[in-house]
Amino acid sequence: MNYRKGYLVLSLTAAAILYSCGSGNSQENAQQMQQALPTDFIQVKSGDADVSTGYPGSIEGQDNVEIKAQVTGYLEAVYIKEGQYVSKGQTLFRINPSVYNEQVNTNAAALKAALAAQETARLEVEKLKPLVEGKVVSEMQLKTAQASYKAAAAQVAQAQSSLGSSKINAGFTYIKAPVSGYIGRIPNRVGNLISPSDPSPLTTLSSINTVNVYFSMNEADFIAHSRAASGNNAENVELILADGSTYSFKGKLENASGNFDRNTGSIQMKAVFQNPDKLLRAGGTARVMIHNALNGVVKLPKTSVKDIQDRFFVYKLNGKDKVKMTQIQVSGSTSQDYFIKEGVNAGDKIAINRIDALTDGAQVVATVIPSK
């Protein structure tokens, strides 16, 4: 009887131990299942993408001309209004021409006198030639007469030059448009004394059939753009206007400077736009958007990337139910996506949610959703 009781006690103890072990494994498995996070993944694909970068710019007409007087005088007439469109050669202002017209008259009279003196000197030479041949007068007298004729001819040339200069100055009293465009501010009024040394111009004239939008590009962007251009990638330059709308014409990008500014580390660029409707005006502002097409790039939504002290990480699906934290390098971005340079390849499955809750090696319940 004692033997049977001992055997029963041992059997019950062994059963209790086995039950306890089995119960512990089940609880551990249940806890692991509870800790696994339901996580969505996308399978990465490579494809084409459009990278756009915006730069604030200032608009200038292709020809911006300061209109200044070339002679001194009182402003007698203003033929245009501020903001008016004028054609090349159109008269804009008139300075009182009386003084300059009188100079023309004086120089014209001086020219006539010089021509008369030249004719007199010529006649004297013609008169002396036969007398020298007949030895009536000396050859020295003929040479003197010929010298006088040359001096008279020089006087004629000088008088002609003076007359031409006075006519040019008289013409400068009528100030005309050197190019077609829009008139700017007109600070002077009729009766003001105008001089070429005035610090302010009579007005400015802006030709805006074509406009240049100037902006600064940093060195890294310039290198990236130059490489894209050398690779014959298509390039579109758009203009975002002050009201947020996109300008209807595409532009062309050009260098506005050959060197980087040492102080700012940037280089001046310009985007050239046609402006047939005259919507763009000099002095305005706009945002230049440069688009570069990239082929065969891997992109990820920004929501799938973890930024830790300016380093970027993603969670790759490792096997069926674990993630691996992987550092990546970014080559560019849009408002929604990163373009991946290193760390992710086509075919990898990347977590797109639970980014803040996941850790390296964490267990997940993975759901792969189609990538867009």
Q: Is a pLDDT exceeding 90 seen at residue 64? A: no
Compute the distance between CA of residue 363 and CA of residue 369 in angstroms, rounded to an integer.
18
pLDDT at position 322 over 60: yes
Res 139 pLDDT > 90: no
Range from 16-30, 99-113, 343-357 that averages highest in pLDDT: 99-113
Q: Quick check: 343 and 304 in contact, CB under 8 A?
A: no
Report pLDDT for 235: 55
Query: CB 371: neighbour CB atoms within 10 A?
Result: 16
| Residue 262 half-sphere exposure toward CB, CA atoms < 13 A | 0
pLDDT band at residue 1 using 50, 70 and 90 as cut-offs: very low
Bridge partners, 183 (sequence order):
205
CB of 354 closer than 8 Å to CB of 37 = yes
Q: How far apart are CA 336 and CA 354, in angstroms?
A: 18
DSSP conformation letters of 38-54: EEEEEE--EEEEEEEEE
Q: At 365, which amino acid appears?
A: V
Q: What is the pLDDT of residue 9?
A: 44
pLDDT higher than threshold 80 for residue 296: no
Q: Which of 32-46, 146-160, 194-208 has the lowest mean pLDDT?
A: 32-46
As to burial, measured by CB atoms within 10 angstroms (0-12 exposed, 13-18 middle, 19+ buried), residue 89 is: exposed
What is the pLDDT confidence band of residue 344, given thresholds at 50, 70 and 90?
A: very high
Give the per-residue pLDDT at 255.
Answer: 85
Class of residue 38 by CB neighbours under 10 A (exposed 0-12, middle 13-18, buried 19+): exposed
Mean pLDDT of the chain: 86
Least confident among 48-52, 167-171, 185-189, 270-274:
48-52
What is the rounded average pLDDT of the residues 49-65?
Answer: 86
H/E run at residue 181: strand 181-183
Question: In this predicted model, which residue has the larger pLDDT, 12 or 104?
Answer: 104
Q: Where are the alpha helices (DSSP H) in the chain?
A: 2-35, 98-133, 139-172, 219-230
Q: Does residue 237 or residue 297 have the better pLDDT?
A: 237
Instruction: Return phi, psi of residue 193, to 5°.
Output: -80, 125
C-alpha pair distances (Å), 188 with each of 69, 76, 84, 193, 267 = 12, 11, 16, 9, 38
pLDDT value of position 201: 95
pLDDT at 137 over 90: no
How large is the average pLDDT for residues 362-368? 93
Instruction: Identify the pLDDT of residue 336.
Output: 84
pTM: 0.59
Residue 93's pLDDT is 97
Pairing of strands 266-274, 203-218: antiparallel
270 burial (CB, 10 Å; 0-12 / 13-18 / 19+) is buried
Distance, CA of 123 to CA of 44 (rounded, Å): 103
Q: Is the pLDDT reported for residue 230 higher than 70?
A: no
pLDDT of residue 295 exceeding 80, the answer is: no
pLDDT given for residue 372 in this prediction:
63
Bigger pLDDT: 145 vs 15: 145
Angle between helices 98-133 and 139-172 (to 10 degrees): 160
Instruction: Reply yes or no on whether the pLDDT at 30 is more than 50.
Output: no
Q: Which pLDDT score is estimated for 6?
A: 46
Q: Band of the pLDDT at 346, cuts 50, 70, 90?
A: confident
217: burial class by Cβ within 10 Å (0-12, 13-18, 19+)?
A: buried
